[in-house]
Amino acid sequence: MIYSDKVISHFKKPHNQGVLKNASTVGEVGNPSCGDVMKIYLKIENNIIKDVKFETLGCAAAIAVSSVLTDMVKGKSIDDALKITRKQIVDDLGGLPEPKIHCSMLGIEALHEAIKKYEKK
């Protein structure tokens, strides 16, 4: 499988990886077919995502997607973060091999899960 230089870069040196203490909310999703699991931590103040971290157990694509997604949402309003699409993530990474496109959905699903939990509070 061939990955873009940007995917490799985010896989080798992921941005925003780790646990966010005092997170406002946490979203966790998994894909039973591939075994990938993604957890995203959000620190939200006045409906703005002030900080974000992730933990991902998965392939290079899943880790790269997590890294890019956290870069994309940091500093955005909740509404703007919810508008981020799978296509935007894949495009930002310079593409993903077709069998790995589902990894980009895990990022979106974890983000939406975290925001849904936050809004229920």
Write out the catalytic residue numbers. 34, 103
Q: What end-to-end distance do the CA atoms of the chain give, in Å?
A: 42
Burial 92-109 (b: 16+ CB within 10 A, else e): bbeebeeebbbbbebbbb
